[in-house]
Amino acid sequence: MASLPAPDQPLTAKSGRVKAARRLARRASRSEHGLFLAEGPKALAEALPLPGCVAEVFATEEAGRTHTALRHAVSDSGAAWYTVTDDGLRALAGSVSPQGVVAVCRFLDVALDALLDSRPSGPLVVCADVRDPGNAGTVIRTADAVGAAGVVLAGNSVDPYNDKTVRATVGSLFHLPIVLADDPVALVGHLQAAGVRVLAADGAGETELFAARRDGLLEGRVAWLFGNEAWGLPEELRDRADHRIAVPIPGRAESLNLATAAAVCLYAGLDRS
């Protein structure tokens, strides 16, 4: 294991390197450089196994002492570890209570065709116009939990590299493929042409979820299509899906929120035999 270099003078919020990293809080800057911020030792630990993912790390002196193993792993990976003052860390952290570590990571998204060509097991999860970073992050985390093939953020969905989205994934962003798609309608056609059965989660769907499971509709190469938090899936997307699946609500609740509905649908498809 490589020895750690002696710490330099801690960087402050006014340091050029900290200012450059801070610009990644803006989507335009992230897109320009292909980099994003991942906050916390958990996120860093999940990112490090991906070759070349971590570009550099900013951490307070206390965090450096607390997370010595992580610091060694960063050094062994070839990424830079910079000690920052508390104000320097706060300038980079998006949370109210920073965890002492912020990593600059390289974009992770992959091309849809590359994902489909690999013929992964598990369902593909498609979010169409999902705007809330917390919801998107939770869907990614749930997809990871059920062993999904990947997550597609389509249309006007939130940026997966938004700091709130990254935090909401709790490290799952680094565990499964992420695909970005501009046109959800074209995406559905592309999936169907590749032999993927597209299931639209729709409260007014003609097939009840557990009937769909009984009939084998959740098996094989499947993509679940989830819509916007407020208005769901547009009609043109619902109509293009192979099946429209409704989650039963025997109680008095009007509906389920997006993340909960996604979890119910994805877990219903697990093979427990």
Q: Residue for token digits 């390197």?
A: 17
Question: How many other β-carbons are positioned within 10 Å of the β-carbon of residue 45?
Answer: 17
pLDDT digit string (tens) for 32-59?
999 999 999 999 999 999 999 999 999 9
> What letter would DSSP give residue 173?
G
> What letter would DSSP give residue 24?
G
Burial 218-248 (b: 16+ CB within 10 A, else e): beebbbbbbbbbeebbeeebbebbbbbbbbe
Residue 272 has what pLDDT? 62
Residue 171 has what pLDDT? 95
Those residues whose C-beta lies under 8 Å from the C-beta of residue 32, and which sit 6 or more positions away, are none
* First vs last C-alpha separation in the chain: 44
Residue 96 has what pLDDT? 80
Nearest one of 246, 155, 167, 255 to 203, comparing CA atoms: 246
Residue 155 has what pLDDT? 93
Let me know: does 28 contact 54? Beta carbons within 8 Å: no
DSSP reduced 3-state for 266: helix
Question: How many other β-carbons are positioned within 10 Å of the β-carbon of residue 249?
Answer: 12
Torsion angles phi and psi, residue 26, rounded to 5: -95, 135
Give pLDDT < 70 ranges for the chain: 1-8, 272-273
Question: How many other β-carbons are positioned within 10 Å of the β-carbon of residue 17?
Answer: 15
State how beta strands 178-181 and 243-246 pair: unpaired
pLDDT digit string (tens) for 93-129?
977 888 999 999 999 999 999 999 988 789 999 999 9
